[in-house]
């Protein structure tokens, strides 16, 4: 491509409303432009990277044996009503009426559509397993779209759905997809980790997320220092402390704690560590048959935080997790939220594993401005139900027994789920098994955030000059910058010759033939992040050389003109592709 005939829409200023580096650089490098909140146009430069990601995803999915389809973006409400999600999905589902007043949505995902298709098309176990994918525009009406294409409302996703006669077959395909995702992210050139994840609102059992490690990530990812254990903090298991619970050593006493309503305040007031306190959180319980629900108390060690996902996955607790209001707390316990504790609490209690391990602890006395000290489980208050309720913290033991946990930030770029029969059951998607018996199919689903990968790659690969693309998804692999070409036919000719030579060898080349100052051209090529750069100048040509600089290199080097192609083939991991 010749830059003089291409939209090079670079900007010097950092856009004010772009919070994270990938968003800033994608705007500055002229890859995207905002149309409205969460809606972006991909400019030519950005689209080239997007298409390369798309191509890698497609090739690896094809290799895995998955079959590409294309389902409509606009979906009829009836299918969502059948699965129950028309009411469940909430505000992120963009709903609309057609000219006849019928209900539709812009699909944020396609479980219903594919399940409907496959229940009609596939009749026998002989046609299974089958895995169908599409690369398609989705819409999620995020309440607060942000970070450019990282959390846009309209985005491109690869979604795949597999169908099976039994759980064993699902498991096999799940493993194939796990490997396929590793292949995809390896090829794209990302530093990523597959981690255990909660399967969330989409339903089902096993689930792994694939995270790109980056400080701007919105997820906390937990790793073992000594094993392969890795999980989203939503899912990471918090073990009970080792050993037996210590025996009681103190008497239980009621202490006047006027105005002390937080763990920090109480600990300071009493001169103890927060680890010796417990906090009591009241949440709504599950509705009974009559639609009534009471409150449930969750007890955590004072320094720990509630893991809402773990809590809402427990039996007896309303989903989504709903904290009790101050009024509800007062009406159930007779006192203010800051003074609640498990002793003689008139609501059911669930105790976190770490809180259950405490002896001689401090808690609210269920009486305004009073706390209890020296409290012990069983002696002073029965220890009933114990569960894993909290988020892990750095230094916690790894749940596989090997090493301790550390926490880093991650950007989710892939997610694989075992859906089981969540959709196939509600939508009655059955096949005949080998005995001629009708069985509900098992399903898996597998997503890749295609447009998000572009941004995530930038979060991981940039410097103060701009983007640094991995070769595989760079908009162009090589930039040829000609200096003063409009005055020097020699330079212009040598630039064209090199351009043709590298193109014919299969490289994606941008010939920067613009009539701009060298500084402008260098800055643009660095901002855009093209991995390899050759400079063609009169001075160099006089010595029979070109100047080469890799995007990550500190130093330039002179390469004999005739050596340019072999040098590049050697320097690029995408050798002459």
Q: How far apart are CA 509 and CA 476, in angstroms?
A: 6
CA atoms within 13 A on the CB side of 490: 10
Q: Cα(254)–Cα(315) distance, rounded to whole angstroms?
A: 33
Q: What values do phi and psi take at 480, rounded to 5?
A: -110, 115
Residue 419's Cβ-side half-sphere holds a number of Cα atoms within 13 Å equal to 26
Query: 176 with 65: CB under 8 angstroms?
Result: yes
The residue (of 28 and 549) whose beta carbon lies closer to a second copy is: 28
Restricting to residues 89-108, name those near a second copy by CB under 8 A. Answer: 91-92, 94-96, 98-99, 104, 106
Query: Which residue, 75 or 398, is less far from a second copy as judged by CB?
Result: 75
What residues from 38 to 67 belong to the interface with a second copy (CB under 8 A)? Answer: 39-44, 47, 50, 65, 67
Per rule CB under 8 A, count of chain residues that contact a second copy:
49
Q: Does 71 bind a second copy (CB under 8 A)?
A: yes
Interface with a second copy (CB under 8 A), residue from 137, 325, 331, 428 = 137
Q: In which region does residue 424 sit, left (phi positive, over 0), alpha (psi from -120 to 50) or beta (all else)?
A: alpha
Tell me the torsion sign for CA atoms 527, 529, 530, 535.
Answer: positive
Look up residue 271 and give its two tokens.
Answer: 């001169």
Task: Find out whether 392 and 195 touch, Cβ atoms under 8 Å.
Answer: no
Q: Least distance to a second copy from the beta carbon of 439, Å?
A: 20
Per-residue binding letters, 154-193, with a second copy (x by CB under 8 A): x---------------------------------------
- Which residue is listed with tokens 């103890």? 272
Nearer to a second copy, 99 or 435 (CB): 99
**C-beta of 139 vs 174, nearer to a second copy:** 139
Any contact of residue 232 with a second copy (CB under 8 A)?
Answer: no
Task: Please count the residues of the chain.
Answer: 577
Q: Is 221 in the site for a second copy (CB under 8 A)?
A: no
Distance CA 562, CA 564 (A): 6
Q: Find the binder of a second copy among 59, 121, 228, 264 (CB under 8 A).
A: 121
Contact criterion met (CB below 8 Å) for 467 and 29 = yes
* Tokens 């050993």 found at: 243
Q: Pick the piece of the chain touching a second copy (CB under 8 A) from 111-119, 228-236, 473-481, 542-550.
A: 111-119
Q: How far is the CB of 324 from a second copy (least distance, A)?
A: 27
Q: Interface with a second copy by CB under 8 A: which range of 88-96, 187-195, 363-371, 417-425? A: 88-96
In angstroms, give the least distance from the CB of 35 to a second copy: 5
Q: Shortest distance, CB of residue 132 to a second copy, whole angstroms? A: 8
**What is the Cα–Cα distance from 277 to 474, expressed in whole angstroms?**
53
Cβ atoms 354, 241 nearer than 8 A: yes
Cα(465)–Cα(167) distance, rounded to whole angstroms? 51
Q: Which of 63, 74, 265, 428 binds a second copy (CB under 8 A)?
A: 74
- In whole angstroms, give the CA distance from residue 131 to residue 428: 19
Tell me how far apart the terminal alpha carbons of the chain are, to the nearest angstrom: 17
Q: Among 132, 192, 361, 534, indicate the residue that binds a second copy (CB under 8 A).
A: 132
Nearer to a second copy, 135 or 197 (CB): 135
* Residues in 10-39 at the binding interface with a second copy, rule: CB under 8 A: 33, 35-36, 39
- Phi and psi of 197, rounded to 5°? -140, 160
506 binds a second copy (CB under 8 A): no
Q: Closest CB to a second copy among 64 and 391?
A: 64
Residues within the interface to a second copy (CB under 8 A) = 5-7, 9, 33, 35-36, 39-44, 47, 50, 65, 67-76, 91-92, 94-96, 98-99, 104, 106, 113, 116-117, 120-121, 127, 130, 132, 137, 139, 141, 143, 153-154
């Amino acid at each position: 491509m010749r830059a003089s005939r291409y939209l090079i829409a670079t900007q010097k200023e950092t856009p004010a409303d772009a919070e994270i580096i990938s968003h800033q650089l994608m705007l500055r490098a002229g890859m995207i432009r905002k149309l409205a909140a969460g809606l972006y146009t991909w400019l030519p430069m950005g689209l080239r990277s997007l298409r390369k990601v798309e191509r890698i995803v497609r090739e690896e999915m094809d290799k895995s044996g998955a079959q590409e389809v294309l389902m409509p973006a606009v979906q009829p409400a009836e299918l969502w009503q059948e699965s129950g999600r028309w009411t469940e999905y909430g505000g992120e589902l963009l709903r609309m009426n057609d000219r006849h007043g019928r209900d539709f949505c812009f699909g944020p995902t396609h479980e219903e559509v594919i399940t409907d298709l496959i229940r009609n098309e596939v009749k026998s176990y002989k046609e299974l397993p089958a895995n169908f994918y599409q690369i398609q525009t989705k819409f999620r009406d995020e309440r607060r779209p942000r970070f450019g294409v990282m959390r846009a409302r309209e985005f491109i996703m690869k979604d795949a759905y597999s169908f099976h006669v039994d759980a064993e077959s699902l498991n096999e395909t799940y493993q194939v997809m796990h490997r396929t995702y590793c292949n995809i992210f390896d090829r794209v050139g990302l530093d990523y980790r597959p981690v255990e994840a909660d399967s969330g609102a989409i339903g089902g059992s096993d689930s792994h997320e694939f995270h790109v490690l980056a400080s701007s990530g919105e997820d906390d990812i937990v790793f073992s220092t000594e094993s392969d254990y890795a999980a989203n903090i939503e899912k990471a298991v918090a073990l009970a402390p080792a050993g037996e619970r210590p025996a009681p050593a103190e008497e239980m006493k009621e202490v006047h704690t006027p105005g002390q309503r937080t763990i920090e305040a109480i600990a300071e007031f009493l001169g103890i560590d927060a680890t010796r306190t417990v906090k009591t959180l009241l949440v709504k319980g599950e509705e009974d048959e009559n639609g009534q629900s009471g409150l449930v108390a969750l007890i955590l060690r004072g320094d720990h935080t509630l893991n809402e996902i773990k809590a809402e996955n427990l039996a007896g607790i309303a989903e989504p997790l709903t904290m009790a209001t101050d009024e509800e707390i007062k009406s159930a316990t007779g006192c203010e939220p800051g003074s609640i504790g498990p002793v003689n609490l008139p609501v059911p209690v669930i105790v976190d594993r770490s809180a259950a391990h405490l002896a001689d602890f401090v808690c609210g006395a269920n009486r305004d401005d009073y706390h209890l000290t020296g409290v012990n489980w069983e002696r002073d208050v029965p220890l009933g139900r114990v569960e894993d309720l909290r988020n892990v913290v750095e230094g916690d033991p790894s749940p596989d027994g090997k090493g301790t946990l550390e926490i880093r930030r991650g950007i989710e770029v892939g997610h694989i789920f075992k859906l089981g029969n969540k959709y196939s059951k509600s939508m009655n998607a059955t096949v005949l098994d080998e005995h001629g018996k009708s069985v509900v199919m098992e399903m898996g689903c597998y997503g890749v955030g295609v447009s998000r990968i572009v941004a995530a790659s930038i979060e991981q690969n940039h410097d103060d000059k701009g983007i640094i693309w991995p070769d595989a998804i760079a908009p162009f692999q090589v930039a040829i910058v000609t200096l003063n070409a409009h005055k020097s036919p020699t330079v212009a000719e040598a630039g064209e010759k090199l351009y043709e030579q590298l193109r014919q060898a299969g490289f994606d080349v941008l010939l920067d033939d613009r009539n701009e100052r060298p500084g402008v051209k260098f800055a643009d090529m660095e901002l855009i992040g093209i991995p390899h750069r050759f400079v063609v100048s009169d001075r160099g040509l006089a010595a029979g050389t070109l100047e080469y600089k890799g995007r990550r290199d500190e130093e330039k080097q002179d390469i004999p003109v005739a050596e340019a192609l072999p040098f590049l083939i050697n320097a690029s991991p995408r050798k002459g592709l």
